[in-house]
C-alpha cells in the first residue's frame, strides 16, 4: 500500500512539474514586458554634478523609487526590466546628499569621462508671412458664391495714400 502511494505521489509530482514547464514554454504565447521603477540612462547621469540641489536632481532623474526613513540623505533609483518573460535585469543608482547638496553617486552606472557642459545649438527658423487680407469667413463665402470676388475686402492694414504731385517737387 505504501509503495503504491509513494509511486502515485511521484508520478503526480512529475506530471505537475512537466505541466508547469510545458505551460511556461509554449510557443506562440505572448508574454508582456514588465518594467518597474525609474528608467535611468547614461545621458541623465552625465548631467549630475557635485553640489546640485535635491530639486535639480529630481528634475533630471525624477522622484526616487525608495524613500528610506532611516537614510534621509540618500535617494535610491531602481529600475527592473523583464522583457517577454526572459531573465530579470535590475539597475540601481543611489544619490547621496549632505545639507541638501549632492555629495556622491553609487550604482550600476559608470560616469562618462568625456562628459562636460553641453553647448546648446541655436537654430533660427524663418516663418513665411501670412496673408491676412481675407478672413476665413470671407474665403468660405467667396468659394460658395455668397460674396462676389469684386466685393471690397476688410483689411487691418492701412491703405497707402496716393502720392500727390506736390510731394515730388524740388524745394
**Confidence class for position 163, pLDDT limits 50, 70, 90:** low
How many domains are contained in the chain? 1
**pLDDT tens sequence across 86-131:** 788 888 999 999 999 999 989 887 767 665 666 667 888 888 887 6
The answer to whether residue 80 sits within a structural domain is yes
pTM of the predicted structure, to 2 decimals: 0.51
Provide the residue range defining the domain that includes 107. 31-124
The answer to whether residue 21 sits within a structural domain is no
Using CA atoms of 68, 74, 76, 77 in order, give the dihedral in degrees to the nearest 10. 140
Give the CA count within 13 Å in the CB-facing half-sphere of 79: 14
Q: How many helices (H) and strands (E) does the chain have?
A: 4, 4
Q: Judging by DSSP bridges, how do beta strands 74-82 and 89-98 pair with one another? A: antiparallel
What CATH number corresponds to the domain at position 47? 3.30.1450
The answer to whether residue 19 sits within a structural domain is no
The answer to whether residue 153 sits within a structural domain is no
Res 75 pLDDT > 70? yes
Q: What is the average pLDDT score of the chain? A: 78
Instruction: For the chain, give the percent of residues with pLDDT over 90.
Output: 13
Amino acid at each position: 500500500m505504501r509503495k503504491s502511494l509513494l509511486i502515485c505521489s511521484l508520478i503526480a509530482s512529475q506530471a505537475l512539474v512537466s505541466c508547469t514547464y510545458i505551460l511556461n514554454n509554449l510557443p506562440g504565447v505572448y508574454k508582456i514586458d514588465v518594467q518597474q521603477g525609474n528608467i535611468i540612462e547614461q545621458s541623465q547621469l552625465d548631467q549630475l554634478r557635485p553640489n546640485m540641489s535635491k530639486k535639480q536632481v529630481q528634475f533630471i532623474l525624477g522622484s526616487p523609487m525608495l524613500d528610506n526613513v532611516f537614510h534621509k540623505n540618500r535617494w535610491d533609483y531602481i529600475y527592473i526590466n523583464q522583457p517577454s518573460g526572459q531573465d530579470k535585469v535590475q539597475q540601481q543608482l543611489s544619490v547621496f546628499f549632505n545639507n541638501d547638496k549632492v555629495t556622491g553617486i553609487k550604482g550600476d552606472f559608470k560616469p562618462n569621462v568625456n562628459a562636460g557642459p553641453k553647448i546648446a545649438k541655436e537654430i533660427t527658423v524663418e516663418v513665411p508671412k501670412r496673408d491676412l487680407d481675407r478672413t476665413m469667413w470671407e474665403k468660405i463665402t467667396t468659394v460658395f458664391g455668397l460674396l462676389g470676388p469684386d466685393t471690397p475686402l476688410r483689411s487691418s492694414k492701412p491703405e497707402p495714400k496716393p502720392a500727390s504731385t506736390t510731394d515730388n517737387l524740388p524745394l
